[in-house]
Structure 1
Amino acid sequence: MRALRILTALACAAALAACATRLPEPAAVPALDAAARARAEALQAVRAEALLADPAWQLEGRASITRAGKGGSGRIEWRQDGPAFEVALAAPVTRQSWRLAVDGGGARLEGLEGGTRHGPDGQALLFEATGLEVPVEALGAWLRGLPADEAVHGPARLEFGADLLPARLEQVGWAIDFRAWRPSTGGAPALPLRIDARRGDAGVRLVVDAWSGAEP
């Protein structure tokens, strides 16, 4: 019931809600030859270095969350400052929202029935309160097209597209497809504009409208 309440709170316009109930289909990833993969890995290393040198950033966009055929959509804001982050989801139609903040002192979840909840782990707190399996601790890296810390989250596998940018990232049982990119301009690294993630019957779809603070 808790999961149903939050999904209902996040439900948006009918067209968006219908889209949210379908898991994203896996993207087609081309096979690169050894030379092209080597170039892609070299470019990724440069991109990662630039992004990791700027740990404070934020994005605004639209997100949909799906689990077991049920889902909801809404606006998302993500603010990251090193290991600390804050994510807010809001449904424009119902005007309901929730906010998760995680820092060195633990996690805080606001906006749900029953008041503010606290816990040591953001992902566990969100699942306990809503039933949503969202890998929030790893998303800060995934959102920028980077593997999460392998010492914490385990090994990652990264595949590249014909443009030599990341096309798919697999880690902790999740497959993350990067379907559109903001190109590198003026020395700023390329950043994802559309991301689809899935694991089992759970899926997260994100369309980024604006990046900020992610400049070298």
Structure 2
Amino acid sequence: MPSSRRRLLVAGAAAALLGACAPMTAREDAVAARRATLPSFMLEGRLSATDGRQAASGRVEWAHAATADRLVLLSPLGQIVARLDSSPAGASLIQADGSRLDSASADTLLPAVLGVDVPAARLPLWVQGATDGGTQVRERDGAGRPLHVIDQGWRIDYLAYADERPESLPTRLDISRGDARIRLIIDAWTTQP
């Protein structure tokens, strides 16, 4: 191989390698959709979670309100595996064997449920595809909805929305940081008054 061709290939490979290391920048080709957060909702779906060593999957039912949350995880066969209730007064986790754990917040109990140490206070925003001042939207779809978001070191990828309307809610998302990953498929959304 001629020396000039070899240098061109080496330069091209170096450029590709450096490009892979460059930080991601936000794609601004879509105007941000106006996305109001729901103060209360109920969602039902399927969830899988892993910390890179262990994995779990099953069904999820989540009732969220401004002052309280109830997250119920069920086995693939429909038995309740865990129920996490939280409010400003504290949080309690009841597991399938009847054991109960209490804590000042859901953040300390959620890892026992999911096996992943994810910030409980950010989850209502993430599952709705909503953003705030602490969120970096890296990519949007043609309707202006987030496709790829970074928040507190977590990557949230929105793989599907309920329909094409800018305000439609997500139906598939992938939340990850390092080896930790949560995949959520939302089968039903119900808005609460």
Work out whether 1:157 is the aligned partner of 2:136: yes
Supply the AA of the counterpart residue of 1:210: A
CA contact 1:195–1:207 (8 Å) conserved in 2: yes
1:194 maps to: 172
Aligned-pair CA distance for 1:72:
1.2
1:209 paired to 2:190: no
Q: Match of 1:190, as an amino acid?
A: S
- CA contact under 8 A between 1:30 and 1:161: conserved in structure 2? no
Deviation at 1:113, TM superposition (A): 4.7
How much does 1:84 deviate?
2.0
Structure 1 alignment gaps of length 5 or more: 1-28
Which residue does the alignment assign to 2:91? 107
Which residue identity lines up with residue 135 of structure 2 in the other structure? A
Q: Which amino acid aligns with 2:161?
A: W
Identity among equivalent pairs (%): 31
Relative to structure 1, is the Cα distance of residues 77 and 164 closer, same or farther in structure 2, using a 3 angstrom cutoff? same
d(CA) in 2 for partners of 1:83 and 1:197? 24
TM-score normalised by structure 2 residue count: 0.76
Deviations 1:154-183, CA, capped at 9 Å, x for gaps: x22013123421101211111000000012
Compare the two structures and name the one with the higher helix fraction: 1
Distance verdict in 2 for CA 1:113–1:55, change over 3 Å: same
Deviation per residue, 1:25-57 (Å, 9 max, x gap) = xxxx99744xx34x2x2x2xx222xx3xx4111
Match in the other structure for 1:23: none
User: Does the 8 A contact of 2:40 with 2:66 survive in 1?
Assistant: yes
Q: Partner of 1:47 in structure 2?
A: 35
Q: TM-score, normalised by structure 1?
A: 0.69
Partners of 1:210 and 1:130 in 2: how far apart?
20
Q: Deviations over 1:126-160 (max 9, x none)?
A: 33677531322210111001136x5xxxx220131
* Alignment of 1:60 onto 2:44: yes
User: Is the Cα contact below 8 Å between 1:98 and 1:111 reproduced in 2?
Assistant: yes
Distance verdict in 2 for CA 1:64–1:171, change over 3 Å:
same
Q: CA RMSD in A?
A: 2.7
Q: Tell me whether 1:176 sits opposite 2:156 in the alignment.
A: yes
Structure label with greater radius of gyration: 2
- AA aligned to 1:178 is Y
Q: Is the 8 A contact 2:40 2:64 kept in 1?
A: yes
One-letter amino acid of the counterpart of residue 174, structure 2: D
Count of matched residue pairs: 169
Runs of 4+ displaced beyond 4 Å? 128-131
1:142 matched to 2:142? The reply is: no
Preserved CA contact (<8 Å) 1:61 1:206 = yes
